[in-house]
């Protein structure tokens, strides 16, 4: 497989991401080309994509890593990890996660946060195999209208 950091938004990328996002859940909005273009331009978010089986193959997975500074250090968070159903159990998510972990480490982050719906049993087991630890904390969300 081939994992790459997105630097340019192409028609192929837009189409692939729009196909992958529904796997994240029906509540996730489908991103536009402008949304995707804003990621590499932000300077704080990295979109990784996975191609399988090699660099000439279609995009079958994605992951976003955000790295940001707070007064107490550099933090990072992984969001929107998804692999097309037809390509799961091939090590694609693991490879993307390893790339994200390396990028966060190189950026000086002290750790990586992520959240996962408890109903996603396999995903939660997977994160534990990578060395992530379940945190005893409360997660909150404030919807902005």
Give the CATH number of the domain where residue 94 resides. Answer: 3.40.630.30
Q: What is the pLDDT of residue 117?
A: 87
- Are 83 and 63 spatial neighbours (Cβ–Cβ below 8 Å)? no
Q: Mind listing the pLDDT tens digit for each residue in 58-94?
A: 999 999 999 999 999 999 999 999 999 999 999 999 9
Mutual angle of helices 11-20 and 33-42, in 10-degree steps: 100
Give a yes or no: residue 44 inside a domain.
Answer: yes
pLDDT given at position 113: 97
| 119 Cβ contact list (under 8 Å, min separation 6) | none
pTM, two decimal places:
0.94
pLDDT given for residue 119 in this prediction: 87
- Residue-level pLDDT at 59: 98
List of the chain residues with pLDDT < 70: none
Question: Would you state the pLDDT for residue 17?
Answer: 98
Question: For residue 140, is it within any domain?
Answer: no
Domain count, the chain: 1
């Amino acid at each position: 497989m081939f994992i790459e950091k997105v630097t340019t938004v192409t028609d192929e990328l837009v189409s692939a991401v729009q196909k992958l996002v529904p796997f994240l859940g029906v509540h996730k909005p489908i991103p536009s080309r402008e949304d995707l273009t804003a990621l590499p331009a932000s300077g704080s978010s990295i979109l990784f994509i996975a191609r399988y089986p090699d660099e000439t193959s279609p995009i079958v997975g994605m992951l976003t890593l955000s790295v940001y500074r707070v007064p107490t250090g550099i933090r990072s968070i992984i969001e929107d990890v998804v692999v097309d159903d037809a390509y799961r159990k091939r090590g694609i998510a693991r490879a993307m996660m390893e790339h994200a972990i390396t990028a966060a480490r190189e950026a000086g982050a002290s750790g990586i946060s992520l959240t996962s719906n408890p109903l996603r049993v396999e995903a939660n087991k997977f994160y534990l195999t990578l060395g992530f630890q379940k945190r005893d904390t409360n997660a909150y969300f404030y919807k902005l209208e």
